[in-house]
Structure 1
Amino acid sequence: MKLHHELIGLSLLLAFGSAHALDTIRVAIGTQDTTINCATGGLLIRELHLLEKYLPHDGKYKDVKYDIEWKNFTSGAPLTNEMVAGKLDIGSMADFPGAFNGAAHAKAGRKSIFVTVLSGSTLGSGNGIVVPKGSPVQSLAELKGRTISVPFASTAHGMLLRAVRAQGWDPDKDVNITTQAPEVAGSALQGNKVDAHADFVPFADLFPHRGFARKIYDGSQARSPTMHGSLVEADYAKKYPEIVVAYLRAAIEADRLIAAEPEKYSELIAKVTGIDAEVDYLFHGPVGLQTRDFTWKPEYRQAVKTSIDTLRLLKRTDSDLDVNTFIDDTFIRTAFRQAGLDYDRQLKNYDKLPLKARDAVTGKPITDFRHLTQIWVRGEPLVRHYASATTAIAALRQLEQAGRKVRTVYAHDQGSGLKLLAGDAWFVVAADGKDVSAFLLKADAQAQAAKVKGKVVDFDTLKSGKAM
C-alpha cells in the first residue's frame, strides 16, 4: 500500500513537472517604429534580440517558455485599443496618448501603469509645426484663420492646443484644426492642401529634411514638457514583475548601444522604418533634439498630468486618473539597480547626450557647443564635427568642390540650443563676416542681426559664400 501511494505521488510529481515545463508566458509588446524616440523600448530591442537576453529562467520561471509577440503601430490610439482588448501586455507611446491609454483602461474596469520614460524634452522639443516649403508664413502668429492639420489624440495635438491658446486664440474659432495622420500629411503639404501641419517625432523634422516643408514652430516654444515612454497592463506587471524588469533591462541595453554608436543604430532604424538616418541622428545623436532619459523627472510627470487635464478639457474622458498612481517607477528603479546604475543620480541629470569630439579641421577638443556644426558626408560612417559654423561651411564648400555628396548639415539655435537641420535654419552673419549664428525662427535671427549689425541669410546663401 505504501509503495502504491509513493508511485501515485511520483506520478503526480512527474505530471506537475511536465505541465510546469510546458508553461508558456506571453510577452506581447506594441511598438511605434516610426516614432523613432520609442526605439529603445521597441525597435532596437526587437531587432537586436535583447529581451531574450534578460528574461528570467530561474525560480518560478524555471523551464518556462516565452511567447514573444511584437506588433507595430503608427500611433498610440490603436495600440491602446489592443492593450485594452487584452492583446498586448506592454506598449510605448507619448504622454498624451499614454494618458488616454490610462483613461481607456479605467473605463474598461482595468488599469495600466506608465513604468518608464524612454525619451523626451523637459522644454517640449520634438513636436512641431511645419508649413509647405513655398509658404510665406514664418511663425504661428501668421496662422490665425488658417487650417492646421494634426493627428488627433496625439502629443502633437496637445502641443497645438496649448500653442494656440498661448496666442490668445480660441482653438474652435480662430483656427481650423483638422485631423490628419502623418502618412497623409506629407502629400497634403506637397500639394498645398493645408496651411500648416502639426506633428510628433519625427515628422516635424522629417518633412523639412525631405524638402517639401519648413519648420516654423518647435514645441519648446510652448515650454511644455513632452515625453515618450512605456506602459504595462497592471495585472500583468503584478503577476510577472520580473518580466517587466527584464523588458526595462533590455531597453537600458538598447540605450547604451545607441549612445555608443549613434550613426550605426540610426542607420538600423532607417533600414527598418524608412525614416532617414539623418533625422534619426538628429534625435538620437549627441546633443540631440531630444534626450533619451529613463527617469521620471518632475517635468515628465507634469507632462502626463497636463495630458490628462487636456483630455478632460477636450471631453475625451471624464476619468479621474491619478498621475501619482498611474506612474509607477518601482520597476525602472529595480532595472537600474540590477544594471549597476544610480537612478537618483540620473533623475537629477538634465544634460543631453554629451559629445566628446575634436574639431575636424583643427583637431582640438570641442568644449563649447553653441556654434557646433556637424556634417554627415555620404559614404562616411561617422558624422564630422566643427566648433564653428564658419569653419564647417568652408569645409562644406571644399567637399562639394571635390565632388563629395553631403547627406545633411546640423546646426544649433543660438537662443535655445535646439539642434537644427541647417538647411531649414536662418543664419546671422556678423558685420565682419567671421561670426555665424544659427536660428530656427527668422524673427529671432532678425533680432540678433540688429544687435550685431549683421545680416540674415538662408542656408543656400550662406553656403554659396555670397554672405561672407
Structure 2
Amino acid sequence: MRTSVLLVGAALAATLLSACGSGDSSTVTVNIGYQSKTINTVTVGTLLRDRGTFEAKLADLGKAKGVKYKVEWKDFASGPPLTAAMLAGQVDIGSMGDAPVLVNGSKTRDHADVRSELIAITGYNLRGSLNQVVVPVDSSATTLADLKGQVVSTSIGSAAHGMLSTGLTSAGMSLGDVRLLGQDPPVGASALTSGQAAALAQFVPWPQSLVFQGKARLLYDGGSTDIATMHAVVADQRFDQQHPDVVAAFLAAQRETTDYLNANPLEAAKKVAELTGIPVEVVYLYNGPNGLVHFDPTIKAPLVDALGKLLPFLKGLGAVGDLDLNQFVNDRYVRTLYGSDYDVRSADTSAPSKLSGPDPVCGGTVQDPATASEVWFTGKDTTSVARTPACLLRQIAQSNAQVRVAYVPAADTGLRLFAAEAVWVSDPGAPADQRLLPFAVKPDADRYLGTHPGSSILDYKAALAAR
C-alpha cells in the first residue's frame, strides 16, 4: 500500500511539474518506453528508434501544425519498471509482454491521469513458444517432473511463470513441488550456468541464447501449453486523447518498421544484433522467416483470449485486480491505420515472413513451413534453403563451407530449432527426403519411435553422416 501511495504521489508530482507529453507552448515531448533486449518488441523499440521513422513522421506533422516534437527514448530491462514509470507520468507509450501488460492495465485503472490502454501488438506466438524451460547441458532431467524439489529460476508474475505453472500442472505437479527463485532473466541465466538453479523458465530470447551458447538445452517448450503469448503496445489514455495524431504517427511508424522487418528479416536481424549485442543467430531464430515471433500490429482475437486466460493466474498471485479487457483493449488506432483491410489482417495468423526459394540439392521449391529449413554458411551474406530437414543435412554434408548456423522445424510441432541442438530421428521407412527428422526434446522423439518401428535416435553429427 505504501508503494502505491508513493507511486501515486510521484504521478501527481510529475503531472504538476513536467506535464508529461508536453514541454513549452510550442514543443510536445513524447516519452517512449521500450526494452532494447526484448527482440520481439524491436518494431516499436530498438529497430524503430534506429531507423528514425517516428521522428520523421513527427517532423512532417509538426510542419503542418506549427508544433515542434521531441522524442525521449527510455530503455527498461523489463515491464514492471516501465509500468512504474507510466504510473509516475514519465512514459506516454510503452511496450511489454502479456503479463506485464495486464499488470500495467490493472495498476493504472484507478488513476485517470495515467490510465493506460492496449493499442497494438508487436510480436506473438500462437502456441506460446516464446516461453521455455532450459536446463544445463549435463542435467539428467528430461521432463518437468524431473525438477521436483529442484530450484527453478523465473520472473515472478511473467508469462514464463504462468507457462511453468501450467506445464507443472500438466505433469501432475504444482509450483509448490519446485523451489521457485524469483529473478530477472540475466540473473536467472547466471544462476543456471553457475549451478545455483536446476532450471530456468524464461521468455524470449534468454532460453535459446543459452542453448546457442552451449550452456543449456531445451527441457520444455511453452508451446506445449497451447496458450498464445505476445508483446504489445500500451499508451497513456489521456495522452491518446490530447495527441491522437502523435499516437497515429507512432503506429504508422510501427507498421512501416514491421513491413521492413518482414521483407528483410536477415538484414533486420543483423541490425538488431549490432544494436543489442544479442547474437545475430539467436535474433534470426526468433525474427527470421517462419521464426518463433510473428510481427503484426493488428490485435487478433486469439491474443485477447490468451490475455483472458492469463488474468486469473496473475490475480491468484495478487499481481492484478479486476481488469475489463473490453475496455482496456482499444483497436481504434490500428483499425484506422489498416482501413478496410483490418478485419482480414487481424484474422490472419499465418507467418508474415515465409521461408521460400529453390532447394539447390534436393530440387524443387521450398514452400511448406512444416519442413522448410535454412542454413547460413560462414562468409556468406545470405542464407540457403532446403525443402526438408533431411535435404538440409544433405546440403550441409555436400558443402565444403563451414556452417555458421542452421535452422529446422520440429517434425511434430513446427517449432523453429537450431539444427545442431535438435534431437534427430532416423526413420528408414520414410521417403528419402523425409528420413531424418528433428525434434525439440527427447520425449518428443521417443513418442515418434513408439509409433514407427525401426526408427532410432541420432545426434547431429550422426544425422549428418546418415544423410
- Taking structure 2 as the reference length, the TM-score comes to 0.89
Q: Quick one: which amino acid aligns to residue 120 of structure 1?
A: Y
1:124–1:220 Cα contact (<8 Å) kept: yes
Q: Give the distance between the partners of 2:61 and 2:347, measured in 1 at CA.
A: 34
Instruction: Give the 3-state SS of the residue equivalent to 1:178 in structure 2.
Output: strand
Aligned partners of 1:187 and 1:58: how far apart in 2?
46
What is the deviation of 1:61?
A: 6.0
Q: Secondary structure at the match of 2:247?
A: helix
Please report how far the alpha carbon of residue 45 of structure 1 lies from its aligned counterpart in structure 2 after TM superposition.
1.0
The AA in structure 2 aligned to 1:462 is A
**Shift of the alpha carbon at 1:290?**
2.2
Q: Is 2:161–2:201's contact at 8 Å kept on the other side of the alignment?
A: yes
Tell me the residue number matched to 1:134. 138
3-state secondary structure, aligned to 2:127: coil
Q: 1:161 aligns with which of 160, 165, 168?
A: 165
What does residue range 116-127 of structure 1 map to in structure 2 within 5 Å? 116-127=120-131
- Matching residue of 1:231: 234
1:322 aligns to what? 324
1:114-141: CA deviation from partner (whole Å, max 9, x where unpaired): 1001111122111100001111212212
Work out whether 1:184 is the aligned partner of 2:182.
no
Cα gap change, 1:432/1:301 in structure 2, threshold over 3 Å: closer, same or farther?
closer
1:417 aligned partner: 414
Question: Once structures 1 and 2 are overlaid, which stretch shifts more, 380-389 or 41-50?
Answer: 380-389
The DSSP-based 3-state class of the residue aligned with 1:55 is helix
Matched, 1:243 2:246: yes
| CA RMSD of superposed structures (Å) | 2.0
> Which one-letter code corresponds to 1:145 in the other structure?
G
Corresponding position of 2:83 = 80
Q: Report how far residue 370 of structure 1 moved.
A: 2.8
Task: Report if the CA contact (8 A) 2:132-2:218 is conserved.
Answer: yes
Corresponding pairs, count: 439
2:225 paired residue among 222, 234, 238: 222
* Pairwise CA distance, 1:362: 4.6
Where structure 1 has 5 or more consecutive residues not aligned to the other structure, the ranges are 1-19
CA contact (8 A) 1:77 1:153 kept: no
1:254 match: secondary structure:
helix
Q: Which residue of 2 aligns with 1:297?
A: 300
State how far apart, in whole Å, the 1-side matches of 2:62 and 2:216 are.
Answer: 55
Q: Distance in 2 between matches of 1:56 and 1:158?
A: 42
Pairs within 5 Å for 1:355-370:
355-370=355-370
Larger Rg: 1
Which whole-Å deviations, capped at 9, do the CAs of 1:66-118 have from their partners, x for residues lacking one?
A: 11000111210111111111111011001100001111212445410010011
Q: SS at the partner of 1:259?
A: helix
- 1:304-347 CA-to-partner distances (Å, cap 9, x unmatched) read 22333222110123x2210111110001111223xxx7111111
Contact 1:369 1:387 in 2 (8 A): no
What is residue 379 of structure 1 aligned with on the other side?
Answer: 379
1:428 is aligned to 425
- Are the equivalent residues in 2 in contact too, given 1:121–1:227 (CA < 8 A)? yes
**Residue 314 of structure 2 corresponds to residue 311 of structure 1:** yes
Which residue is equivalent to 1:448? 448
Is this contact kept in 1: 2:96–2:233, CA < 8 A? yes
CA contact (8 A) 1:36 1:201 kept: yes
For the residues of structure 2 that align with 1:262 and 1:246, how far apart are their CA atoms?
Answer: 23
TM-score, length-normalised on structure 1?
Answer: 0.89
Gaps of 5+ in 2: 1-22
Aligned identity (percent) is: 33
| Structure-2 residue corresponding to 1:210 | 213
